[in-house]
Structure 1
């Protein structure tokens, strides 16, 4: 058995054990509420890309992670589990195909699994048909990893464009299919090389300025995996609350887009 496989199994076991306890446990950050996102009302969200974002209260944050699954994802899942926090993962199809066990593990932990294309290309530089095909192949790979059946109809209709590079035609296509396009309100810039300590300083500074919002991280980054426990502690100590986003069920009553179920 390879060292990577052994490492993944160890993290799987820890994450499962953490979630086996009742959450939130005393002294953990926890997940304050679940927000059902109505695609008709919020087709495109995130102030870095769009005029609209989610209806969050002061000091509420939504944690999102892009580009996985990867060898570093178990460390992210373990940190979240220790604090009883739920997040959203926007997955690249080729990575889901390579590591389907991690897709299932994230879902088993209660996290929301969105989509992030098949191969992380510059979709705005492709023809509409080629870009649509890449999006659909990514969704199909994610669905196959999660449910064992490849389909371009997403069980979670959330999508984030690689590099936030969209086109009007692709946005219209996704909206017509009832797929919410996620931007972000601010991010950790963790695609840049920096220490975990520098990343923590950067993201907490941006959080202080914004006070709330959708935050973008990358679960493929080792520096983010190393930083995340301290960031979650910062949220807990400073009175921030984590909101978990899920799709609004089809046919649900209109008021259900702001469900405040406590975990």
Structure 2
């Protein structure tokens, strides 16, 4: 996948969107077996009360025992997504007012995403952490200080990770947990090491890279960022997308990007850690159920 200053190239024909789209991995049975072997359980996404929006197609429950590391920019495997399925992930928040604008754009389209939070920022804006969770998004972790782990000793890095997780959990629930329910982590700058990866594996954490990015850490206009991410997506056709809710340019771009996904037949997949799912949806092991997008 493309990670750099220049946008990927390629033209993709638009895929016609219908209000109800059946999710097919190959056949229902084959898709079910694929997801079961991948350590993922599928549920229906919640219905959206508004008509003609992008919506959330389905929910994947990710098991760290089967998928300890995902994202082709850093690792050899990624999530088993079907063509035109995307996962939206946001780093470096919460940061007012950009995060609120991103949340508003997602809410308008009934889309759910995963937010990798910086613990220091969570401690400053705990009400925003609670809002992210209350609106149905997945809380994930991105260290305490957002420092490159290679610039720390192993013990310092462990403490920074643990402090970040504790700050996120305290902002969310008022206290840190011995075993945090949110078990997704992304290294700042994707700067990991074998020792740190093993440490997180021993903690039952899923470590995320990404499959493609919007390049929004560069000095781009919202229009340039939109062009970058859509061209890269047309080449990849699916994947875990890295964005930054802390960036004002990304907040400004999100409504247009969500419209692009809607108009070109992309489906949103929402990730949750393995375990109890805080949703009205019933878990369906070994099956991929269709979901309506209204």
TM-score band, normalised by shorter chain: 0.7 to 0.9
Conserved? CA contact 1:63–1:87, under 8 Å: yes
Partner of 1:197: 223
RMSD: 1.9
Partner of 1:75: 101
User: Which residue of 30, 46, 69 maps to 2:71?
Assistant: 46
Question: Displacement of 1:262 after TM fit?
Answer: 3.9
Partner of 1:58: 83
**Long gaps (5+) in structure 1:** 1-20
Partner of 2:242: 216
For 1:86-105, what aligned pairs fall within 5 Å after superposition? 86-105=112-131
Question: Displacement of 1:256 after TM fit?
Answer: 3.7
Conserved? CA contact 2:86–2:240, under 8 Å: yes
Confirm whether residue 111 of structure 1 aligns to residue 137 of structure 2: yes
Question: Secondary structure, in 3 states, of the residue corresponding to 1:67?
Answer: strand
Conserved? CA contact 2:72–2:78, under 8 Å: yes
Question: Secondary structure, in 3 states, of the residue corresponding to 1:201?
Answer: helix
Confirm whether residue 160 of structure 1 aligns to residue 186 of structure 2: yes
Question: Displacement of 1:161 after TM fit?
Answer: 0.2
TM-score, with structure 1 as normaliser: 0.87
Cα distance between partner residues in 2 of 1:262 and 1:153:
32
Conserved? CA contact 2:181–2:273, under 8 Å: no
TM-score, with structure 2 as normaliser: 0.78
Conserved? CA contact 1:36–1:246, under 8 Å: yes
Question: Displacement of 1:151 after TM fit?
Answer: 3.4
- CA distance 1:194–1:118, change in 2 (3 Å): same
Question: Displacement of 1:88 after TM fit?
Answer: 0.2
User: Which residue of 232, 254, 266 maps to 1:206?
Assistant: 232
Question: Secondary structure, in 3 states, of the residue corresponding to 2:150?
Answer: helix
Question: Secondary structure, in 3 states, of the residue corresponding to 2:93?
Answer: coil
Question: Displacement of 1:155 after TM fit?
Answer: 1.5
